[in-house]
Structure 1
């Protein structure tokens, strides 16, 4: 797997933001109140989270440009949850305005970077602006599928799926290693345990499973010692806060 360049990541952020905007434009008020693909969340919750993480990441960059750091969310995980719950019941017009403003703010912050700026430290995961950009890419691409408006993981690009393989290797239990075998593509090994489990299927189905989403192409199979087995249990999503979706 090759690492994504900063110019390619910037292009992917614009593409993902455009997809969010296009999908939101297709919603009506009833859609917003309907259940999303995430248990216990309406589409309004997902939209509130998209706006929230976009604003949060923009703020990381705005402070970094001044040589300062700030927590990803005011009030930590509890503050994040409270903000989502408060905004979830907003009208479609309010969600559209909030989402568009947040995405524009985030893209403006990333567009204004010079190359060295991608290495600037931020508080998110005690990482860099590049880490923040990759996180926002994940959030936009995955959560737009969570809206359940006909754009599932099957639309994820090979580059995005391979990025998830790397990032979500943290979900492999310590005693296992997964031999990912995407159909028609080179295999990828994640994890370093002694027990080897092969995961075979379309690359998007493998990535969706690792991300805790439902594979949409029905191609996923697991095997160990040449025998079919159940898909392994995964560790929690690697997070900068105590819990996340």
Structure 2
């Protein structure tokens, strides 16, 4: 199999992974009540309603990127940062029924478009909301990150320890390429359950623990109290 064909196969398989992650998320959301949505999420300043509104609008933003890749017509992920934030604020107070319908419909729109993407359009270059140029093959992973991480952020019983192993492995490896210590001090991480190890900068300390716990700490979803070693202060994960 050529590298292009292999990448296409990986992208197609990732769509099934996103669908499975969403199939875990939707019933968990459906089990909530309206009162649960006004309670704080694990994200500072956001209720669970904010998280759900963001997940729905994110799916639509990734539709924009797939349309850009498919047609060649530039379609920004979000019209503006202001409108992105305004949509989340407007959607946050909605009752559960509306949130669930929106989350389901936006997921189905995105997945339906992704499943019929012509093979020769997946490598097309688009830009994410930070302005970085990426191939459209990156978009399914972007959606999986949103679904899995924000499922944890909802604080409804799903934790980093529930992440599938393949997702955890990829997130941990990626986060080590993106994380930056706030004071510039380097460090090494070692996953005690998988054997993964990686270093940022000139290591002054080693941080050890299960892969999921390391990944959650690196992306700011855990204070790292379940890890061993001297924890450096990390800049915010993007």
Q: TM-score range by the shorter chain?
A: 0.7 to 0.9
Q: Which structure 2 residue ranges, 5 or more long, are not aligned?
A: 1-6
Match of 1:28 in 2: 33
Alpha-carbon separation, structure 2, partners of 1:178 and 1:118 = 36
Match of 2:114 in 1: 110
Question: Aligned to 1:67, which of 41, 66, 72?
Answer: 72
Match of 2:142 in 1: 135
**When the two structures are superposed, what TM-score results if normalisation uses the length of structure 1?**
0.85
Match of 1:123 in 2: 127
Match of 1:99 in 2: 103
- Describe the superposition over 1:162-213 as per-residue Cα deviations: whole angstroms up to 9, x where unpaired: 222232221133944432211132232142x223421111111001101111
**When the two structures are superposed, what TM-score results if normalisation uses the length of structure 2?**
0.87
Q: Please, what is the CA RMSD of the aligned residues? A: 2.0
1:180 aligns to what SS in structure 2? strand
Q: Is the 8 A contact 1:69 1:123 kept in 2?
A: no
Matched, 1:207 2:207: no
1:179 aligns to what SS in structure 2? strand
Alpha-carbon separation, structure 2, partners of 1:45 and 1:131 = 25
Match of 2:233 in 1: 233
Alpha-carbon separation, structure 2, partners of 1:151 and 1:201 = 19
Match of 2:4 in 1: none
Alpha-carbon separation, structure 2, partners of 1:221 and 1:187 = 15
Question: Aligned to 1:182, which of 191, 203, 222?
Answer: 191
Q: Is the 8 A contact 1:13 1:136 kept in 2?
A: yes
Once the two structures are overlaid, the 10-residue window that deviates more, 124-133 or 53-62, is: 124-133
Count residues with an aligned counterpart: 226
Alpha-carbon separation, structure 1, partners of 2:11 and 2:223 = 29
